[in-house]
Amino acid sequence: MHLDHTHDGPAAVSADAHRPDGTHRALRIGLGGPVGSGKTATVAALCRALRDELSLAVVTNDIYTREDAEFLLRAAVLPPERITAVETGACPHTAIRDDISANLEAVEDLEDEVGPLDLILVESGGDNLTATFSKGLVDAQIFVIDVAGGDDIPRKGGPGVTTADLLVVNKTDLAPYVGSDLGRMAADAKAQRAELPVVFQSLRTEAGVGDVARWVRERLAAWTA
Amino acid sequence: MSRGALLVLADGRFPAGGHAHSGGAEAAVKAGRVTGAAGLGEFCRGRLHTAGLVSAAVAAAAVLGADPGELDLAVDARTPSPALRVASRRLGRQLMRAARATWPSAELDALAREFPKGAHQPVVLGLVARSAGLGAEDAAYCAAYESVSGPASATVRLLSLDPFDATAVLARLAPELDLVADRAVEAGRRVLAEGVDELPCAAAPLLEIGAEAHAAWAVRLFAS
Amino acid sequence: MTGVRATARIVARDDGRGGTALPVLEGDGPLALRRTRASGSEARVMLVGAMSGPLGGDHFAVEAGVERGARLRVGSAAATIALPGQAKGESRYDVRIDVAEGGELHWLPEQLISVQGSDLRVTTRVDLAGSARLVLREEQVLGRVGEEPGRLTSRLSVRVAGRTVLDQELGCGPGAPGGWDGPAVLGGHRAVGQLVVVRPEFAREPVAARMLGEHAALVPLAGPAVLVSAIASDALRLRRVLDEALAFLG
């Protein structure tokens, strides 16, 4: 047995930037964060913002099978064949970090069946502050928290808050009602994340998901360069 | 054989998708057939001697060099539930992905080409064991153990069962695991001499019926 | 002391006049065969248990061949009862069925009842040509009312055009592999049955899987065949589910 054995056939390495036929695969961006922070709403808004300029698809990782996928289907943000639900056995963090095999199959099948794709958004089911995506599954990840979850979350840190490529602080319109101090959140995030970007957004305002969509476009430009 | 490689392959954290499957435990819990450690023990015992034995024998036969395509058809014939056939192929594909990164081999590449959407999991398991330098007995043990460890860890989540009780259930099944692995290897040897009809075909009606009921639920925690 | 050996044989042949002839219809000892009134092109045969059996050590066999284009329906006059015998060892009941191209067989015997203390191994092997049609029902009742079952092992395999589409063996009763009566296998139910329907058109128009109540499922097999698998508390309830399934398939 040789672990460095060279072999033919389709690539088995999960993070490989090329598909078996040699074409560049889609950029994969993960969205994680606590329950109720607005991940699915952000995914839906991103789909609406980007679907006319990009070929995109979504993979959801639900706790209860297909809930988030069905929300996206009902909202009709994408045609149904572009939305796939991965079943996680009650543990989305396992499916996005420790055992990514089902997610890799889902992204591959989407590229095979509806491709070519520019972008695949992989959404995690709501989990805790330690849940991050494997680098074998996504090329970049967005961590979504919200002001109503407590303005001390950026200070508490955790792998999602400190290492995600983009931190989104969602539902800023609620800050006055829940007593969250946006300035403090921004300062704490800066302390935890140094130069990594942070976006404050409210999907109820006109700007909506615009900043996040811009960040995704930049990522995509770098990926295809 | 390498005992170290066996531990890597048998580890419940081996990233091959098993965590999302309950091995029928979710359906059994919902139907009230499993409500605690005693019921889990009987559930696992029944699964071990039916689905577990069949998988173990298929895996052993694959290690010994039986034709993977014929073994795959034999698993189809021993798996009446289409939901279980889909789950088995999905898990086979996921195991293939993990194994080609961990123990690459030309044989695995060939099987992946022949079954792009996945061969049945025990067929893949047998060839993975070969690639890892393991023997028929090792593969049989892996398959037999998986047939009970999956339901046990799922039931811990489903019933908030005491994890010590669930692990004790598995420990008490150890002598029967030995028995099943032995029978599986014997069957695997007969397959080489006389063909795939020699594979055991032990049926578990409630696993098959429960899998179909489960597949029709709108809301569930596990994929099967 | 050895048990009884008996083999019954049936051959059904297209008679060339729109009917089915039975050139071979041989009962043997405890296995008697009766031709009953035909229905259209279909010949009908009844298995009649002249003795109760099989007893311990007995070895019964039934061989049925349906030739090209012939149509046969086989039933039984009463349930088959597996009883303990004075001879040692298990008894056997082997059924071998062959259906040639364009042939059709309805194999609808009454239940097999496994009586306390009995030890029976049943094998049913069906070989079908690619355009053959089959309806086959198998029902096992574990013990008479209020009685523990005997040891029963029953294997059913079905091949279509040389490919095995179903191979299942159920083992139950004292000495059976562990967990047979538990929540993964029978869950305390005392009647278990299967209905296999093979039709060439299923290859083009597969039937979707469906539940038939809580304890029965109709599933498409990997081939032009459908299986209904059911468990029930008693033989009557089991028969009702299998009859409903057959009516659904039309």
CB A133 within 8 A of CB A159: no
User: Domain limits at A88?
Assistant: 27-224
Task: Give residue C1's pLDDT band: very low, low, confident or very high (50, 70, 90).
Answer: low
Burial (CB count <10 Å: 0-12, 13-18, 19+), residue A150: middle
Tally of CA atoms within 13 A in the half-sphere of C5 that contains its CB? 2
Query: Does residue A138 form part of some domain?
Result: yes
Task: Tell me what pLDDT residue A65 has.
Answer: 61
Contact C166 B77 (CB under 8 A): yes
CA–CA gap between residue B47 and residue B25 (Å, rounded): 10
Tell me whether B33 touches chain C (CB under 8 Å). Answer: yes
CB C225 within 8 A of CB C176: no
3-state SS record for C181-195: CCCCCCCCCCEEEEE
Burial (CB count <10 Å: 0-12, 13-18, 19+), residue C17: exposed
DSSP secondary structure letter of residue B34: -
Burial (CB count <10 Å: 0-12, 13-18, 19+), residue A76: exposed
* A 55-84: CB under 8 A from B: 63-67
C50, pLDDT greater than 60? no
Split into its structural domains, chain A has a count of: 1
Identify any residues that bridge with C133 across adjacent strands, giving them in sequence order: C104
Select the residue of C184, C214, C217 nearest B47 (Cβ to Cβ). Answer: C184
Task: Tell me what pLDDT residue A2 has.
Answer: 44
| Angle separating helix axes B106-114 and B68-77, nearest 10 degrees | 50
B115, B221, B222, B224: which to substitute to probe chain A, counting the most A Cβ within 10 Å? B221
C46, pLDDT greater than 60? yes
For A101-140, the DSSP string reads HHHHHHHHHHHHHH---SEEEEEEPSB-TT----TTT-SE
B209, B214, B217, B224: which to substitute to probe chain C, counting the most C Cβ within 10 Å? B209
Tell me whether A105 touches chain B (CB under 8 Å). Answer: yes
3-state SS record for C116-128: CCCEEEEEEEEEE
Output the six-digit token pair for A19. 């598909």
Query: Does residue A206 form part of some domain?
Result: yes
* B 10-49: CB under 8 A from A: 13, 15-22
Contact B97 A105 (CB under 8 A): yes
C218, pLDDT greater than 90? yes
Spell out which residues of chain A touch residue B12, defining contact as CB-CB under 8 Å: none
CA–CA gap between residue B12 and residue B154 (Å, rounded): 12
Select the residue of B28, B47, B78 nearest C168 (Cβ to Cβ). Answer: B78
CA–CA gap between residue B33 and residue C231 (Å, rounded): 14
Split into its structural domains, chain C has a count of: 1
Task: Tell me what pLDDT residue C51 has.
Answer: 54
Mean pLDDT is lowest, of B146-155, C13-22, C83-92, for C83-92
Using 70 as the pLDDT threshold, list the residues of chain A that sit under it.
1-15, 65
Query: Does residue A166 form part of some domain?
Result: yes
Can you give the pLDDT of all 224 residues of chain B as single tens digits?
689 999 999 998 999 999 999 999 999 999 999 999 999 999 999 999 999 999 999 999 999 999 999 999 999 999 999 999 999 999 999 999 999 999 999 999 999 999 999 999 999 999 999 999 999 999 999 999 999 999 999 999 999 999 999 999 999 999 999 999 999 999 999 999 999 999 999 999 999 999 999 999 988 889 99
- Comparing alpha-carbon positions, the chain B residue that sits nearest to C170 is B203
User: Domain limits at C164?
Assistant: 5-249
C211, C219, C226, C238: which to substitute to probe chain B, counting the most B Cβ within 10 Å? C219
CA–CA gap between residue C16 and residue C20 (Å, rounded): 8
Residue A10, preceding bond cis, omega within 30 degrees?
A: no
Query: Does residue A102 form part of some domain?
Result: yes
Task: Tell me what pLDDT residue A128 has.
Answer: 74
Fold of B27-212: Urease accessory protein UreF (1.10.4190)
Task: Tell me what pLDDT residue C76 has.
Answer: 93
Tell me whether B58 touches chain C (CB under 8 Å). Answer: no
Task: Give residue C210's pLDDT band: very low, low, confident or very high (50, 70, 90).
Answer: very high
Select the residue of A7, A10, A100 nearest B104 (Cβ to Cβ). Answer: A7
Domain harbouring A67, CATH code: 3.40.50.300
The residue count of chain A comes to: 225
Task: Give residue C54's pLDDT band: very low, low, confident or very high (50, 70, 90).
Answer: confident
Tell me whether A134 touches chain B (CB under 8 Å). Answer: no
State pLDDT tens for residues A33-61. 998 899 999 999 999 999 999 999 999 99
Spell out which residues of chain A touch residue B128, defining contact as CB-CB under 8 Å: none
Its ipTM equals: 0.96
Do the chains C and B touch each other, judged by at least 3 C-beta pairs below 8 angstroms? yes
Nearest CA among B40, B11, B58 for reference residue B173: B40
Select the residue of A7, A87, A101 nearest B105 (Cβ to Cβ). Answer: A7
Tell me whether A148 touches chain B (CB under 8 Å). Answer: no
Sign, CA torsion B107/B108/B111/B116: negative
For B55-114, the DSSP string reads HHHHHHHHHHT--HHHHHHHHHHT---HHHHHHHHHHHHHHHHHHHHHS--HHHHHHHHH
Task: Tell me what pLDDT residue A109 has.
Answer: 93
Burial (CB count <10 Å: 0-12, 13-18, 19+), residue A210: middle
* Average pLDDT over chain C, rounded to an integer: 94
CA–CA gap between residue B223 and residue B220 (Å, rounded): 8
CA–CA gap between residue C227 and residue C242 (Å, rounded): 10
Spell out which residues of chain C touch residue B28, defining contact as CB-CB under 8 Å: 183-184
Task: Tell me what pLDDT residue A1 has.
Answer: 42
- Is A188 or C2 the better-scoring residue by pLDDT? A188
Residue B139 C-alpha, separation from nearest chain A C-alpha, in angstroms = 17
DSSP secondary structure letter of residue B48: I
How far, rounded to the nearest angstrom, does the alpha carbon of residue A220 sit from its chain's CA centroid?
A: 14
